[in-house]
Structure 1
Amino acid sequence: MKINEIIDAMEQTGMIPVFNHADVEVAKHVLDAAYNGGVRVFEFTNRGENALEVFTALKAYASRHTDLVLGIGTIFTPKEVEDFIAAGADFIVSPALIPNVAVTSNRNNVLWIPGCGTVTEIFNAKEMGAKVVKAFPGNVLGSSFVSAVKAVMPELKIMPTGGVEPTEDNLKEWFGAGVTCVGMGSQLFKKEWISQQKFDELEKQISETLNIIQAIRNK
């Protein structure tokens, strides 16, 4: 997919699951649950010694879902950018604004989404070519930060990640502030569901969350 097509998919879905697991088979089940629940953009995170190995296998497995976009998060270095692009990453996400990551991603014509926590960082990210920024950590910055940034940069696409909850009240707050989509990790992937392999419960939760987002947008 082209960069603009990926951004459109992010905006249309409204929520990007953020997930990591050392077991490839668990990751596959989670990916399927997310897709069946309506997700079309999924972020695996670069955590753990075998993250690249798991992502490579997950990317090959994800090819059965032709309209699924699979990216990699928690990227800090140009080498990680190169390694995961070689493994098929559709987009790159960082917890911080890292110039070398921006340069390497741009050189490879791959969407990169930097984590930003100040207006200065967001402005610098835009100057480096960022089309979407991650408000991180979202639970620290809050929806009022998004509202303030959108007041001076209304065209900016913002994705808060960290502390976003799959509830109507919390999602209404974020989308009311003007976010393009939300990233959701631990609040979405309950540890007991993963450990007990209750992937049907996860699929149901994801579907309900996406329905809430669509309902909020339609009001």
Structure 2
Amino acid sequence: MRFSNSEMLQAMSETGMIPVFNHVDIEVAKGVLDASYKAGIRVFEFTNRATNSLEVFKELYNYAGKYPDMVMGIGTIFTREDANAFIEVGADFIVSPALIPELAVHCNSKNVFWIPGCATMSEIFQAKKLGATLVKAFPGNVVGSAFVAAAKSVYPELHIMPTGGVEPTEENLKEWFDAGVHCVGMGSQLFKKDWIKNQQYDLLEDKIAETLKIIQGCKL
């Protein structure tokens, strides 16, 4: 593996935000990755939401080689077969919207960092038993920041990343970081459809940089 689990956790903490993105066009994905890196992103999650996601991710991962400190993960993984396919083309970490024991066992056997989706304390308990050090609070807009604060009070050493409904505003981000999140995942709130369609990557870069600046302020 290119990065240790601790190195990936540190990169996630330092930037405080992981972009969550998918597109069927590799050239668009490259443009988004470039804009993200220039803005300060060092951990990027592509998602397995299209029929050609494996092909696009493989090429994007190779393209990202020009950024040796960029951690590249794959999200929306439900089966060990899908996990294995993406691990074989280089995925640094695996993210799932759910807690799937067989996926955890497989990633552990491959020594690949995995992030399960959890929405209850029982799921967090099971995730910890399976070796998770970071869990995805999902959907974030449903579980809310109060859930994160409650989970941290019971498991203070556990790292939590909400995804879904996280907004690039000072008010929303402050609420999450005050609750104790390790970092946040952000997709549609960050990647405006018009910007992507019109390939306005400069606007995207500015928005990501602005969001990262807000996050750094929330962590003070």
Deviations along 1:31-61, whole A, 9 cap, x unmatched? 0000000000000000110000000000000
Letter in 2 for 1:70: M
Letter in 2 for 1:178: G
Any stretches of 5+ residues in structure 1 without a counterpart? none
Deviations along 1:93-127, whole A, 9 cap, x unmatched? 00000011101100110100000000000000000
What number of residue pairs does the alignment pair up? 218
Cα distance in 2 between the residues matched to 1:154 and 1:28: 37
**Match status 1:195 vs 2:166:** no
Cα distance in 1 between the residues matched to 2:5 and 2:148: 23
Cα distance in 1 between the residues matched to 2:5 and 2:153: 25
Q: TM-score, normalization: structure 2?
A: 0.98
Any stretches of 5+ residues in structure 2 without a counterpart? none
1:180 pairs with 179, 182, 197, which one?
A: 182
Deviations along 1:194-214, whole A, 9 cap, x unmatched? 001110000000000000000
Identity %, equivalent residues: 65
2:91 pairs with 85, 89, 92, which one?
A: 89
Corresponding position of 2:27: 25
Corresponding position of 1:210: 212
Letter in 1 for 2:84: E
SS at match of 1:142: helix
Cα distance in 1 between the residues matched to 2:50 and 2:216: 34
Cα distance in 2 between the residues matched to 1:150 and 1:67: 29
**Match status 1:10 vs 2:2:** no
Cα distance in 2 between the residues matched to 1:109 and 1:150: 26
Cα distance in 1 between the residues matched to 2:22 and 2:79: 19
Corresponding position of 1:54: 56
Please state how far the C-alpha of 1:216 moved relative to its aligned partner: 1.3
**Moved >3 Å (runs of 4+):** none
Cα distance in 2 between the residues matched to 1:104 and 1:149: 26
Q: CA RMSD in A?
A: 0.4
SS at match of 1:95: coil
Counterpart mapping for 1:23-172 below 5 A: 23-172=25-174
Deviations along 1:57-87, whole A, 9 cap, x unmatched? 0000000001000000000000111100001
Please state how far the C-alpha of 1:3 moved relative to its aligned partner: 1.0
